[in-house]
Amino acid sequence: MLFLGKHGYRVIAHDRRGHGHSTQSWSGNDINTYAADLNAVINHLNLKNIITVGHSTGGGEVTRFLGTYGTSKVAKAVLIGSITPSLGIPLSVWDTFRTNYITNRPQLFLDFASGPFFGFDRPRANVSQGLIQEFMEQGFKAGFVNLYDCITAFSETDFTADMKKLNIPVLILHGDADEVVPIDNTARKAIQILKHGALKIYPGGAHALPQTNANQVNQDLLDFIQK
């Protein structure tokens, strides 16, 4: 946001319901409501000619928003490490994830951040304790039920129909070493669905590209915006 703001763009980010400083509502922790909340923010601020950017589950949120509410206010979209069109990972994996979340949420956060999220579990990884700490702090700010329900939202939603509706340029940024959202299940399938899509693969890139590859992501966003 700082990078794009310094290049003259108005940059807006919202805390998804149940996350950050937003209300920890018991209900509505699903993709359809996430998209409706995003639409409400856009309408409230009277935004037009915008470029929507979503990472991971946020990519699904952006895609469902565009598929449901159209692209009249959106010029372009960017999906980073996005779960679209679907994760394609056996639900048994996420059942175990849910069990570990309930049993010991702090340990799950620590293991996830120390491992696959940033790719810190790979040989010769440049491990950042600061990023691990930040990940855990953001996790603890979120409501317990909100994150629990979000597991279902990101693991069981199919966005194929939404992607087929998109008539705007869409840039996909994805790491080919993403252990959380495998590129073969998502980005490589998504690019075959989109009418006006472009895929940029980050060799060796993990899931958290906006943190681990911040400078390159920033430049790729700027280049795409300025086209």
Strands 197-202 and 170-175: parallel
CB 149 within 8 A of CB 30: yes
In angstroms, the CA 24 to CA 19 distance is 7
Rounded to 5°, angle at Cα 41 from 210 and 134: 30
Stated length of the chain: 227
In angstroms, the CA 145 to CA 91 distance is 19
Q: Which amino acid type is present at position 223?
A: D
In angstroms, the CA 126 to CA 143 distance is 30
Cβ atoms within 10 Å of 32's Cβ, excluding its own: 14
- Counting Cα atoms < 13 Å in the Cβ hemisphere of 108 gives 16
Query: What is the radius of gyration, based on Cα positions, of the chain?
Result: 17
Coil, strand or helix at 173: strand
What are the residue numbers of the active site? 56, 178, 207
For the record, the structure tokens of 196 come out as 């006006």
Taking CA atoms, 11 is separated from 24, 50, 189, 193, in Å, by 24, 10, 29, 28
